Structure 1
Amino acid sequence: MRKKDINIRFIAEKCGVSTATVSRVLNEDARVSKDTRKKVLNAIDVYGYNLSAAARPKVHKVGVIMRINNPDYNTGLLRSISDYFFARSIQVIACNSERDYSRIPETLDTLYDSGVMGVILIRCPYLEIKEHLNPRIPHVWLDCNDSPEDCPNICCTQSDHYTSGQIAALELLNHGCTRPILINGIERSHRTFERNQGFISEYEKKGIHLEENHFLYLPSIKDAFSESQDIVRYLLTKNFPFDGVFAVSDWRALGAYMGVKSMGKSIPKDIKIIGFDGISLASRSVLNITCVQQNVSQLAYSACRQLECLIDGQTVKNKHVIVPTGILPGQTI
């Protein structure tokens, strides 16, 4: 075997421990048991691992892959993830996977080559990329695009999207909205499906059937604000009957608000609007938008805790974490 092939991952594999454990042995961390320390040091001696290289200051790293379709949400998550690992002297490398999934394998390889101990994937699929995952590196999904039923063995954290849809529907129903439209992005993910189903369920309880043309899936060619503003203006121009809007993000909700106002309609008198996220500047910029608010700090903490457990070789007791949401009151309902 070539000397350059003998690295910290090789030693960890031979010892049946994580790379973090090998690193702790090299750094004389007191948390490592005597038996594990002896096993690792013996492997280093047997395979001739270059201790002079290993003795250099080790930078522990984790990777984060996220998409650019919801920058405020992603920035909030990344800030909380960075704070969590900074407190543990671990560096976070954030990568952007653009608007599609074709570059995720390439991005993963870049992170693997940089020596990350684990990866958090935000709003990314599992089934589509599972063949590209390095089995020796732990991965955690935050808002996975695939349903938990389709990938029961991965660790993932997400908001309670079904209940979020119910909360939004009840808020509109309680204020007399019987003909709402739902503004979604083009991506028909598990999250979108769950939110829409929760929304539909509350209207069906009231005997109100929502037609398919009340569910809008915008192409994300332009920015979310402009697309939502344009579609609302178009619907009002065509006299499409609606009295409420549930938008998949605060920026889409703000776009809908500006579209309604530009057509001379009153909010919330004529049309009521509720957004989703409750974390961006959009929800508190022009006015306070009523929205379903995600608990970003709790989402980030749960994902980080899962990844930390996997890195340390521990069993994750709850692989699928569901974080509750709630209403953030505003002026649009």
Structure 2
Amino acid sequence: MPITIADVATRAGVSKTTVSRVLNGKGEVHVRTADRVRAVISDLGYVPSARAVGLARGRTRVVGMLVPALTWPWMGEVLQGAADVVEATGYGMLLFTCTHGDESMRRFASQVSAKSFDGLLVVEPEGTLDYITELHRRGLPVILIDDRGHQPGFPSVRTTNEEGARAAATHLLALGRRRPLVITGLRRFGCTRERLAGFAGAYADAGVPIEPDRVVEGDFTFECGRAAVRRLLADGVPFDAVFAHNDLSAAGALQALRDAGRRVPQDVAVVGFDDLPLAGHTHPPLSSVRQPLREMGTAAARLLIGHLTGTPLPDTPTVIPTGFTARDSTGAGDPTNADDPTAPDSTVAREPTGARVT
């Protein structure tokens, strides 16, 4: 049978409260009594529960992290960035997903009530922002990762969706691509609206506004990218480029173009968004706007741990800029494939082989 705090108290001839005070260093205990309790702890080999000691001290040294699901293509990068910081600072992490909807949230809420963690990192499950905001208002430190345009009333870490999309448009315009097909994400997401605004704004500034029939709403899946390209080809809508709002739907677009006998990038240049490892392994390798996913997880965890150790939280969002990686899907590997190989494009990293640029 495991040794309990009651066993220690009985052997030492003191109350459980006295043993707890010795363990936690709280309250006044006579020196000889404390020495006797410590000797009994050593003799019995008693190991106190880390969670119980943490709660007694008013902290657990555990961070919670709430995410929609682990199946999102970029979630692993964000998690790894956060985990690296949490582990390096000696904290533990409790991971919660919302794959079972309300049931998942009820379980999460029970852990909040039990004060199982000291602070919370969140990639917002849809429809939970009001609840998370209330937790923060009640005193739970919360950092939101990827605010999706919601701009919450508590600290967040985000990236430059609009500027990243504008960089994609600038790259395509420099290659002479004047009729792009845009495959968006779900319109209700702020990141979708920001990416569309940045991309369309750059084309409008260049005097070639994007026609409404070349903007197709998708859902960030491979199939939506493939279906959008197939539909426009079938309808006879001309396009010489594709800008997809994530790499997965861009990969679907590549597949549809290949199935239709269209050459990439000679006939159609393709750009994605996220710059996941997938982008370097499509055929051809995919040019993509790079989201600083791991850096966002790292920054959020540093903010939270810093706050838990005494550093005030910032009043404004932490913004980590996007980048751009040019690969073969826009002619980066073979400049003769591009419409205008001499066009200036000094703002992008060129990666002909598909290996990751950092």
Report the TM range for the smaller structure's normalisation. 0.7 to 0.9
Question: What residue in structure 2 maps to residue 241 of structure 1?
Answer: 238
The alpha-carbon deviation at position 27 of structure 1 amounts to: 6.2
Residues 26 and 297 of structure 1: CA distance in aligned 2, closer, same or farther (over 3 Å): farther
Distance 1:274 1:165 in 2: 10
Length, aligned pairs only: 283
Matched, 1:303 2:300: yes
The alpha-carbon deviation at position 173 of structure 1 amounts to: 0.7
Distance 2:47 2:117 in 1: 16
Matched, 1:327 2:321: no
Residues 181 and 76 of structure 1: CA distance in aligned 2, closer, same or farther (over 3 Å): same
Residues 147 and 256 of structure 1: CA distance in aligned 2, closer, same or farther (over 3 Å): same
Question: What residue in structure 1 maps to residue 339 of structure 2?
Answer: none
The alpha-carbon deviation at position 202 of structure 1 amounts to: 0.8
Distance 1:73 1:55 in 2: 39
* Unaligned residue ranges in structure 2 (runs of 5+): 1-21, 29-40, 52-59, 331-358
Residues 91 and 231 of structure 1: CA distance in aligned 2, closer, same or farther (over 3 Å): same
Residues 136 and 319 of structure 1: CA distance in aligned 2, closer, same or farther (over 3 Å): same
**Which runs of structure 2 are paired with 1:43-122 in the superposition (5 Å)?**
55-58=48-51, 60-68=61-69, 71-98=72-99, 105-106=105-106, 108-112=108-112, 113=114, 115-122=116-123
For each residue in 1:132-169, what CA deviation from the matched residue of structure 2 results, as whole angstroms up to 9, or x when unmatched? Answer: 52623211100113432xx3x31001111111111011
Which amino acid in the other structure matches residue 76 of structure 1?
E
The alpha-carbon deviation at position 283 of structure 1 amounts to: 3.9
Residues 96 and 329 of structure 1: CA distance in aligned 2, closer, same or farther (over 3 Å): same
Question: What residue in structure 1 maps to residue 212 of structure 2?
Answer: 212
The alpha-carbon deviation at position 98 of structure 1 amounts to: 3.4
The 8 Å contact of residues 63 and 111 in structure 1, kept in 2 or not, is answered as: no
The 8 Å contact of residues 65 and 122 in structure 2, kept in 1 or not, is answered as: yes
Secondary structure of the structure 2 residue equivalent to 1:292:
strand
Which stretch shifts more, 246-255 or 120-129?
120-129
Q: After the TM superposition, which parts of structure 1 deviate over 4 Å for at least 4 consecutive aligned residues?
A: 25-28, 52-55, 102-105, 123-127
Distance 1:255 1:133 in 2: 39
**Which runs of structure 2 are paired with 1:1-333 in the superposition (5 Å)?**
41=26, 55-58=48-51, 60-68=61-69, 71-98=72-99, 105-106=105-106, 108-112=108-112, 113=114, 115-124=116-125, 127-130=129-132, 133=135, 135-148=138-151, 151=152, 153-219=153-219, 224-317=221-314, 319-333=316-330
The alpha-carbon deviation at position 274 of structure 1 amounts to: 0.4
What is the Cα-based RMSD across aligned positions, in Å? 3.0
Which amino acid in the other structure matches residue 137 of structure 1?
L
The alpha-carbon deviation at position 87 of structure 1 amounts to: 1.0
Which amino acid in the other structure matches residue 135 of structure 2?
L
The 8 Å contact of residues 124 and 141 in structure 1, kept in 2 or not, is answered as: no
Secondary structure of the structure 2 residue equivalent to 1:165:
helix
The 8 Å contact of residues 108 and 133 in structure 1, kept in 2 or not, is answered as: no
Distance 2:168 2:274 in 1: 12
Which amino acid in the other structure matches residue 185 of structure 1?
G
Which amino acid in the other structure matches residue 56 of structure 1?
S
Distance 1:99 1:286 in 2: 35
Question: What residue in structure 2 maps to residue 46 of structure 1?
Answer: none
Secondary structure of the structure 2 residue equivalent to 1:186:
coil
Which amino acid in the other structure matches residue 274 of structure 2?
D
Question: What residue in structure 1 maps to residue 37 of structure 2?
Answer: none
The 8 Å contact of residues 26 and 54 in structure 1, kept in 2 or not, is answered as: no
Secondary structure of the structure 1 residue equivalent to 2:209:
coil
Distance 2:63 2:291 in 1: 24
The 8 Å contact of residues 142 and 156 in structure 1, kept in 2 or not, is answered as: yes
Q: Percent identity?
A: 22
The alpha-carbon deviation at position 42 of structure 1 amounts to: 5.4
Which amino acid in the other structure matches residue 98 of structure 2?
S
Distance 1:178 1:104 in 2: 47
Residues 132 and 313 of structure 1: CA distance in aligned 2, closer, same or farther (over 3 Å): same
* Unaligned residue ranges in structure 1 (runs of 5+): 1-24, 29-40, 44-51
For each residue in 1:280-333, what CA deviation from the matched residue of structure 2 results, as whole angstroms up to 9, or x when unmatched? Answer: 324424431000112223211211122113323531235301111111121111
For each residue in 1:111-132, what CA deviation from the matched residue of structure 2 results, as whole angstroms up to 9, or x when unmatched? Answer: 4136011111114467443465
Which amino acid in the other structure matches residue 49 of structure 2?
R
The alpha-carbon deviation at position 108 of structure 1 amounts to: 3.6
Distance 1:256 1:75 in 2: 24
Distance 1:225 1:75 in 2: 18
Give TM-score scaled by structure 1 length: 0.75
Question: What residue in structure 1 maps to residue 12 of structure 2?
Answer: none
Distance 2:171 2:140 in 1: 43
